[in-house]
Structure 1
Amino acid sequence: MSSSIHKPQESVIIKFDHVTKTYSLYENDQQRFFSVFWGRDKRKLITRVNASNDLSFEIRKGEAVAFLGQNGAGKSTALKMITGVTYPTKGTVTVDGTVSALLELTAGFDSALTGRENIYLRGHALGLDNDEIAELEPRVVEFADLGVYIDQPVRTYSSGMKARLGFAFAVSSDPEILVVDEALSVGDKAFQQKCFARVREIMEDENVTVIFVTHSSGAAAEFCTRGIVLDKGTLKFDGPIQEAIDYYESNY
């Protein structure tokens, strides 16, 4: 069921065109490894799963869209294709803008480098030059609020400290597309409130497109104006957020 809405005056910034993402499930890790070099051994292949199944939708600049669905619905797979972590098996994903993702906040850190050095490492990975990172650095340091630990090796950080640094980097840049996967439960209560406030500030910028994945209907209603409901990789509903919530809650 679909009742798609969009902002006709704005350009399309994300487009899924008949996208299917298929994962092969093997009997064990050894068989998965062998398949990379010697092809699939169908006797050891348990099954194939379409995490995204002929998925088509458009998201326009400035929209705030919630992805709703149960575990295994395909939400995270869709986000990974938007962020370029993985690619479709069939179909086309088009993303026209700089993406900042609040997904795996601690991914990509070098534990031997300091927190400050990791800011530069992550910045270079995103294609920023030294001047751009130098401008970004004080904002990240201030938001993360790690004190003297910012100049200590990341291997000395707790998981919460690493998440704070990752979150601070993601929200201190000026993204055109912000992807949030229920990553706001970072650190203590005061820092969580700081995170919510910053995300809300970003989302109020009409030039920023926001993709928000959540199990909380209340959070979706608070942050977003449009909802996309997924089930086993298939789009089931696309429309105004309250209608999407009503559809989700009445069917799942």
Structure 2
Amino acid sequence: MPDVMIEVENLGIEFFRSRRRNLSLREMVLKGRSTAPSQTFWALKGVSFTVGHGEAVGLVGSNGTGKSTLLKTIAGVLIPDEGEARVHGGVAPLIELTGGFLGELTARENIYLTAGLHGLRREQVDERFDEIVDFAGPQVRDGLEMPFRHFSSGMQVRLGFAVITTLDEPIILVDEVLAVGDAAFKEKCYKRMESLLAQDKTLFLVSHSEGDLRRFCTRGIYLRRGELVDDGPMDAVLKHYTKDNSAS
């Protein structure tokens, strides 16, 4: 296992402020291009840091400061416009938990599909199937042959969390998903996260919950308007972030 699991170097992500409208055929012939505004902004700019093997890092910042964008770039969902994000090892992305699930397939079929997309062989899914379903809860077990789209949003998220956290990947990316479900299920999620960290996994957590950040993370990274402004012990970074918020 390498000492450094995540390397982010001079990372920049640029977005359009408004979506360009589609051109009609007549507009393409007469104008050749859209007259829609093409103003851009940098969701992330000049961000650099490394995360070592077994570190638990909490990412803080106000809404719209690039936290989720950074996580998606590390996960390989977004391609940077500047710099790069290098990941040394597989990733278990607890970001959009139901993103890989298909509504017309049954819950059972979706378990095999999603786990397979993350690299598990069918025999491996067979071995973990009961563990996944037991964690997701009795409602999910009772609905295994039901189309996924008929599940409540809570049941969908439970199943997504159960599948992704059974993966063997060394890096876990978490974006505001620990607050799912009722108090009992939330505590199950917490215990599962603590179990994963006890296995020396590397954690990168986005959360607005100071309790969650202090519970799971020893190091903090603070983003403000897309730029990295602090990187240090979790408590110190939270104090910096809280001070900035109270002053604004």
Fold conserved (TM > 0.5)? yes
How is 1:202-213 mapped onto 2 (pairs within 5 angstroms)?
Answer: 202-206=196-200, 208-213=201-206
222, 226, 235: which is aligned to 1:229?
Answer: 222
Distance 1:131 1:164 in 2: 23
Per-residue CA deviations over 1:3-24 (Å, capped at 9, x if unaligned) read xxxxxx9611101111100011
Q: For 1:79, give the aligned amino acid.
A: L
Cα distance in 2, alignment partners of residues 243 and 49 from structure 1 = 29
1:90/1:195 CA distance change after superposition, 3 Å: same
Which segment is superposed worse, 144-153 or 233-242?
Answer: 144-153
For the 8 Å contact 1:136–1:173, the answer to whether it is kept is no
- SS of alignment partner, residue 46 of structure 2: strand
Equivalent in the alignment of 2:237: 244
> CA separation in 2, counterparts of 1:213 and 1:27?
26
CA–CA distance in structure 1, aligned partners of residues 37 and 109 of structure 2 = 43
2:178 pairs with 184, 187, 193, which one? 184
Q: 1:235 to 1:40 in 2, by over 3 A?
A: farther
d(CA) in 1 for partners of 2:37, 2:88: 36
- Tell me the amino acid that sits aligned with residue 136 of structure 2: A
Match in the other structure for 1:217: 210
Matched, 1:66 2:52: no
Aligned amino acid, residue 146 of structure 2: Q
Question: d(CA) in 2 for partners of 1:104 and 1:82?
Answer: 14
Q: 1:222 to 1:77 in 2, by over 3 A?
A: same
How many correspondences in the alignment? 238
Match of 1:14 in 2: 6
4+ residue segments displaced more than 6 Å: none
Letter matched to residue 219 of structure 1: D
- TM-score, length basis structure 1: 0.88
Name the aligned partner's letter for residue 194 of structure 1. K
1:27 CA drift (Å): 5.6
- Match of 1:248, SS? helix
Residue identity in the other structure for 2:237: A
| Deviation of 1:46 (Å) | 4.5
Kindly indicate whether the alpha-carbon contact (under 8 Å) linking 1:69 and 1:229 is maintained by their aligned counterparts in 2. Answer: yes
3-state secondary structure, aligned to 1:172: coil
Does the 8 Å CA contact 2:20/2:37 hold for their aligned counterparts?
no
The letter for the 1-side match of 2:205 is F
Q: Secondary structure at the match of 1:71?
A: coil
Name the residue aligned to 1:129: 121
| Match in the other structure for 2:81 | 89
Q: 5+ unaligned residues in a row in structure 1: which ranges?
A: 1-8
Partner Cα distance (1:148, 1:70) in 2: 40
- Is this contact kept in 1: 2:21–2:36, CA < 8 A? no
1:173 lines up with 2:167 in the alignment: yes
After TM superposition, the structure 1 stretch with the greater mean CA deviation from structure 2, 95-104 or 52-61, is: 95-104
Query: How has the CA–CA distance of structure 1 residues 45 and 241 changed in structure 2, closer, same or farther, with 3 Å as cutoff?
Result: same
Distance of 1:15 and 1:39 partners within structure 2: 41
Which string of whole-angstrom CA distances, capped at 9 and with x for unpartnered residues, describes residues 164-193 of structure 1? Answer: 110111112223111111201222221111
Unaligned runs of 5+ in 2: none
What TM-score do the two structures reach when normalised by structure 2?
A: 0.89
- 1:131 deviation in Å? 1.9
Residues 29, 107 of structure 1: alpha-carbon distance in 2 compared, 3 angstrom cutoff: farther
Name the SS of the counterpart of 2:9 in structure 1: strand
Question: d(CA) in 2 for partners of 1:63 and 1:228?
Answer: 12
